[in-house]
Chain A
Amino acid sequence: DAGVIQSPRHEVTEMGQEVTLRCKPISGHDYLFWYRQTMMRGLELLIYFNNNVPIDDSGMPEDRFSAKMPNASFSTLKIQPSEPRDSAVYFCASSLIGNTEAFFGQGTRLTVV
């Protein structure tokens, strides 16, 4: 398996624009996680899914953020409208069972100008 695949690797966008980050988890994994990494706050869990169903979105910072998982092999994290403070590295991770090894993608570095 190629591991968790995220796209794009880098995204630069203007404030107010919509941004969509994409993730393909490892085939067969039941859980998918979206994390955000910033210098100030470190790694924060935004939301996670179990069998494509959102379980806990308490980490999503604002209503501008939304995430979907339409099928077992694809998830999106959308920010609309984007703001400069959303600039961060966004990681997707997947695992077979929660609370065990999570495999991380290489991340999407988002810059909002």
Chain B
Amino acid sequence: AQSVTQPDIHITVSEGASLELRCNYSYGATPYLFWYVQSPGQGLQLLLKYFSGDTLVQGIKGFEAEFKRSQSSFNLRKPSVHWSDAAEYFCAVGAGIKLVFGAGTILRVKS
């Protein structure tokens, strides 16, 4: 069965520091991979997606993610975090028609 693991429930980084959120997936075929962000009281917004091709994908708000097939990973990165990035981040794998989500990582940004 398809699954997504986000090992970190909470992460705290200082404003201006770099960020990496981890995501590992389990899927038998070539995966479609997504990162979504959810601000408090809001819906989920797509940050970026990987379907095929270049394994380093760029998204909105300065985020990027790298697909590593050998590690079954799709980690999200940002070189310099802003206080407005504080939110919950979800990794998801497209399993057929459905999206299977990880449990999420809550990002806290300290000034």
Interface residue count on the B side (C-beta < 8 Å) = 22
| Complex Cα gap A42–B102 (Å) | 8
User: Nearest-CB distance from A87 to chain B (Å)?
Assistant: 16
Number of cross-chain contacts by CB at 8 Å: 50
Given A91-B43, A105-B43, verify A99-B32 contact (CB < 8 Å). Answer: yes
Chain A contact residues: over half helix, strand or loop, or mixed? strand
Whether B45 sits at the interface, judged by CB under 8 Å, is yes
User: Nearest-CB distance from A5 to chain B (Å)?
Assistant: 11
A45 to B, closest residue via Cβ: B98
Residue among A33, A103, A104, A105 with max Cβ neighbours from chain B (10 Å): A104
Contact of A42 among B34, B42, B98, B104 (CB under 8 A): B104
The interface residues of chain A lying within 8 Å CB-to-CB of B103 are 42
Which chain A residues have a beta carbon within 8 Å of chain B's beta carbons?
4, 31, 33, 42-43, 45, 48, 50, 55-56, 91, 93, 98-107
